[in-house]
């Protein structure tokens, strides 16, 4: 019988652990981890996501500051906000909600954030630590980190397994491939120009779907008893109900009967992304006094 990897439960367990870590930091070091989030404009999806981050941060006893900027904010004004947060010793984690309006330079913004406060894990220094096998020194990207936790909740030893990652983005595909290598997997990265993609996916003991295309991974692409981590979050219109719903990159109903374990969408990777953001903030606070 297929095991459904419940991200909500595992994220809740992680947050309970983080709550205890915060109490310890407060008791032993008189430090309360502090996350500062900058959001530019009023994109509805970003607003919902940021509100969830703030709510979860406060629920575990973390300090959270939200800075709202107009969508026509200048690059120099945004940069100044980041510089001020970099220089504020009471702020341990900085996150600028992406995507930004087109007139703003995302790469400049990512590079400007102090890597020791870069809780998204996107700064080149953190990327470098991860790829050099020094993840203990890095703040690692939240979605890949959460995906590995979910994977290991079902299979604690990944050594020797063949993992296929479909998607090569800097946010998910590349970092999760590196993390799988560090778990001693054999890793294949597939992408839009990969030939015979279905045949390659069918070789996978572990299949990571991160392409941003609804129901892209079909049942005949999956071998029996594979473990599937579905990173995709796609909103599609349901013609029967007239409403939209969230689905993953995997054709869940068709695929799950073949798998040993699979994450659902929603309720899989999504909750873990926020939990790992909070975990990164606590790590940043701890490193600040190391």
CATH 3.40.50.720 in the chain is located at 142-270
Q: What distance in Å separates the CA atoms of residue 124 and residue 149, rounded to the nearest whole number?
A: 23
- Cα angle 105, 107, 113; round to 5: 105
Going by CATH, does the domain composed of 142-270 fall within 3.40.50.720? yes
**pLDDT of res. 254:** 97
Average pLDDT value for the chain: 96
Residues 50-93 have pLDDT tens digits of 999 999 999 999 999 999 999 999 999 999 999 999 999 999 99
Q: Report, at the CATH architecture level, how domain 30-114 is classified.
A: 3-Layer(aba) Sandwich (3.40)
Residues 168-194 have pLDDT tens digits of 999 999 999 999 999 999 999 999 899
Q: Which of 71, 92, 95 is nearest to 81 (CA)?
A: 95
Q: What distance in Å separates the CA atoms of residue 97 and residue 270, rounded to the nearest whole number?
A: 16
**pLDDT of res. 186:** 98
Q: What distance in Å separates the CA atoms of residue 20 and residue 188, rounded to the nearest whole number?
A: 38
**pLDDT of res. 240:** 77
**pLDDT of res. 192:** 86
Q: Which of 50, 67, 13, 124 is nearest to 277 (CA)?
A: 50
Residues with catalytic roles: 53, 97, 120
Q: What distance in Å separates the CA atoms of residue 35 and residue 15, rounded to the nearest whole number?
A: 15
- Cβ–Cβ < 8 Å for 269, 263: yes
% of the chain exceeding 70 in pLDDT? 100
CATH 3.40.50.10860 in the chain is located at 30-114
Classified as helix, coil or strand, 53 is: helix
* Residue 237 main-chain phi, psi, to 5 deg: -90, 130
Which residue positions in the chain have pLDDT lower than 50? none
Residues 34-54 have pLDDT tens digits of 999 999 998 888 888 899 999
- Strand blocks (E) in the chain: 3-4, 34-40, 63-69, 93-96, 162-166, 186-190, 206-209, 227-230, 234-237, 244-247, 261-262
Q: What distance in Å separates the CA atoms of residue 110 and residue 11, rounded to the nearest whole number?
A: 26
């Amino acid at each position: 019988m297929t095991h459904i990897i419940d991200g909500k439960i595992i994220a809740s367990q992680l947050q309970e652990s983080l709550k205890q870590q915060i109490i310890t930091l407060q008791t032993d070091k008189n430090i309360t981890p502090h996350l500062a989030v900058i959001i530019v404009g009023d994109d509805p999806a970003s607003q919902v996501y940021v509100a969830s981050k703030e709510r979860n941060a406060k629920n575990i006893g973390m300090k959270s500051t939200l800075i709202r900027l107009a969508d026509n904010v200048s690059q120099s004004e945004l940069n100044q906000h980041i510089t001020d947060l970099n220089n504020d010793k009471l702020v341990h984690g900085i996150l600028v909600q992406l995507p930004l309006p087109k007139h703003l330079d995302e790469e400049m913004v990512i590079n400007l954030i102090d890597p020791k406060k870069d809780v998204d894990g996107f700064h080149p220094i953190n990327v470098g630590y991860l790829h050099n096998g020094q993840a203990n020194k890095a703040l690692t990207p939240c979605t890949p980190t959460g995906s590995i936790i979910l994977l290991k909740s079902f299979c604690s030893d990944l050594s020797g397994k063949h993992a296929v990652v479909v998607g090569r983005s800097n946010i998910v595909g590349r970092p999760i491939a590196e993390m799988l290598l560090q778990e001693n997997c054999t890793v294949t990265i597939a992408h839009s120009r990969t030939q015979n993609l279905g045949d390659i996916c069918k070789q996978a003991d572990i299949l990571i779907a991160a392409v941003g295309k609804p129901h892209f991974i079909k049942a005949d692409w999956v071998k029996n008893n594979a473990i599937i981590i579905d990173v995709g979050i796609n909103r599609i219109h349901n013609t029967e109900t007239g409403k939209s719903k969230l689905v993953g990159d995997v054709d869940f109903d068709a695929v799950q009967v073949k798998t040993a374990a699979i994450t659902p969408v929603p309720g899989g990777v999504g909750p873990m992304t926020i939990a790992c953001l909070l975990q990164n903030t606590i790590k940043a606070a701890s490193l600040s006094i190391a």
